[in-house]
Amino acid sequence: MSRLVVVSNRVALPGSNQNGGLAVALDAALRDSGGLWFGWSGKVAREHSGEVHEEHHEGIDYVTVDLSREDYEGHYNGFSNRTLWPLLHFRLDLVDYNVGTQAAYRGVNALFAEKLAKRLRDDDIVWVHDYHLLPLAQELRKRGVRARIGFFLHVPFPSADIVAGLPNHEQTFGALVAYDLVGFQTERDLERFQDYMRLFGGGEVQGRGEVRGQDGRQVRADAFPIGIDTAALESLASRSGRIAAIRRVHSSLNGRMLALGVDRLDYSKGLPERFRAFERFLEKYTKLHGSLTYLQIAPVSRGGVASYRALRRELEQFAGHINGGHAHPDWTPVRYVNRTYPHATLTGLYRLARIGLITPLRDGMNLVAKEYVAAQDPADPGALVLSIFAGAARELDGALLVNPFDSDGVADAIAAAAKMPLEERRERWQSMITRLRDYDIHAWRKDFLRALAETQR
């Protein structure tokens, strides 16, 4: 049987506490099959990039590489998170392009390829993840790697004209044709990729998911919406009432309903817009005052990038402003927390929450939305308020779908969720949990790897 080799910038090393969807999902996928996980060690070395660390744990070999301060700044904080991340989330206004960081990005991809190529066998199945590693297959092929290589993009693929706004976009996005299979979260992402290849990438679209690159190389493309480990989360959530921290939160609510948001502190998650909508809810629905508390969990993310630091300052002020305007001595409408929690605690919080409030401006998938549904008590499930711009909105048809830019619409949806009768909550939840049970993280992995194995060579 072929060995699975997963490559991603972020690796969930044994014992580490991860709060990004990619690491959480790949950890679940690799636990199933075993294999090799290759990527950045998370360490910034004093001098040079390239020191390799190896460890083995429960059937998985972890091989990770240190990056120098310069490469960490140029590759991760720079081209990946100041250029590609905003571009891929439709935020051309925030794109900070720089030839130096682009060179660092290319250099780190070449370094990863150099370290990985010598560990690969021809019958390995290599699965590369996300925007940090778009040109990795091209670099591996240059080094003679003949194994099948697939790529999965966890974030959205934006409209073609946005991608074309990036200087030298062909170098980065044209490199995708070196893969055998390219996977996207949704059908819309696939369509936009095809548009880009046809209009600006010098490619030809020969049918749905059949793209020929400028150099004549053929690549398959398809949509594979990422799932969660539904059964494991359902079971974790059903036991969460015993956790002391969850019992404390429960009693602190004093019988009030809980609305919950859980998001990395990232501008793509629409947090200021969500705070504004919650303020609108307080202004419009005064009769509901005192009956609902909004808890926002927002672990700090990418603090090396200025726009993330500015967002943190803005939210601190905003939370204070809302509470200053609406709190009573015995009720604080917003609780704002910057810590990271393990899944055992999060599932307990999801289950306590009558409302899941998830309103990103753009999101590849949003696993939190799926986790919220999986964690509900089937006898008394909560209601999900979800942005139409999250990839998860395609599957979670029982949610109250909202436009996150429309603060009145979101405020109305919060009120509707708070008042929703039990029967309606059950009906909506049933259709969502059925989908999450049918197409979970294991089905996603099998689906992608089957499609990769079937690619023509």
H helix intervals, 207-243: 230-238
Nearest to 356 by CA among 429, 434, 448: 429
CA–CA distance, 308 with 300 (Å, rounded to integer): 8
H helix intervals, 285-421: 306-326, 343-352, 367-374, 407-419
CA–CA distance, 155 with 6 (Å, rounded to integer): 17
Cβ 318 to ligand UDP, closest distance in Å? 20
CA distances from 423 to 66, 353, 378, 380, 420 (A): 53, 17, 11, 9, 8
Q: Which two tokens stand for residue 381?
A: 């499930």
Q: Using the rule CB under 6 A, which residue among 137, 367, 374, 393 binds ligand L263DTV3?
A: 367
354 SS3 class: coil
Which positions from 209 to 238 touch ligand L263DTV3 by CB under 6 A, shown as an x/- string? Answer: -----------------x------------
CA–CA distance, 305 with 285 (Å, rounded to integer): 37
Tell me the site size for ligand L263DTV3, rule CB under 6 A. Answer: 17
Taking CB under 6 A as the rule, does residue 387 contact ligand L263DTV3? no
Q: For the packed helices 21-33 and 367-374, what is the interaxial angle rounded to 10 degrees?
A: 70
Return the number of the residue (258 or 367) whose C-beta is nearest ligand UDP: 367
Taking CB under 6 A as the rule, does residue 148 contact ligand L263DTV3? no
Cβ atoms 299, 264 nearer than 8 A: yes
Return the number of the residue (240 or 366) whose C-beta is nearest ligand UDP: 366
State yes or no: is 154 an active-site residue.
yes
Nearest to 386 by CA among 366, 377, 374: 366
Taking CB under 6 A as the rule, does residue 279 contact ligand L263DTV3? no
Cβ 266 to ligand L263DTV3, closest distance in Å? 8
Considering the candidates 66, 130, 180, 363, report the single residue annotated as catalytic: 363
Taking CB under 6 A as the rule, does residue 186 contact ligand L263DTV3? no
The residue ranges that bind ligand UDP (CB under 6 A) are: 19-22, 24, 262, 264, 297, 299, 340-341, 343, 346, 365-368, 371
Cβ atoms 355, 387 nearer than 8 A: no
Taking CB under 6 A as the rule, does residue 440 contact ligand L263DTV3? no
Q: Which does 120 bind (CB under 5 to 8 A by kind): ligand UDP, ligand L263DTV3, none?
A: none
**CA-CA-CA-CA torsion sign (133, 139, 143, 144):** positive
Taking CB under 6 A as the rule, does residue 136 contact ligand L263DTV3? no
Return the number of the residue (300 or 416) whose C-beta is nearest ligand UDP: 300
State yes or no: is 161 an active-site residue.
no
Cβ 435 to ligand L263DTV3, closest distance in Å? 16
CA–CA distance, 226 with 185 (Å, rounded to integer): 6
CA–CA distance, 276 with 350 (Å, rounded to integer): 22
H helix intervals, 208-270: 230-238, 244-252
Cβ of 400: how many Cβ atoms within 10 Å? 19
Return the number of the residue (189 or 412) whose C-beta is nearest ligand L263DTV3: 189
Taking CB under 6 A as the rule, does residue 192 contact ligand L263DTV3? no
Return the number of the residue (113 or 396) whose C-beta is nearest ligand UDP: 396
Q: Which two tokens stand for residue 51?
A: 């020191």
Facing residues of 3 across strands? none
Cβ 410 to ligand UDP, closest distance in Å? 18
Q: Using the rule CB under 6 A, which residue among 5, 13, 22, 111 binds ligand L263DTV3?
A: 22
Considering the candidates 154, 229, 263, 343, report the single residue annotated as catalytic: 154
Return the number of the residue (68 or 301) whose C-beta is nearest ligand UDP: 301
Cβ 435 to ligand UDP, closest distance in Å? 16
Catalytic residue numbers read: 154, 363
Site residues for ligand L263DTV3 per CB under 6 A: 10, 20-23, 25, 130, 154-155, 226, 301-302, 363-367
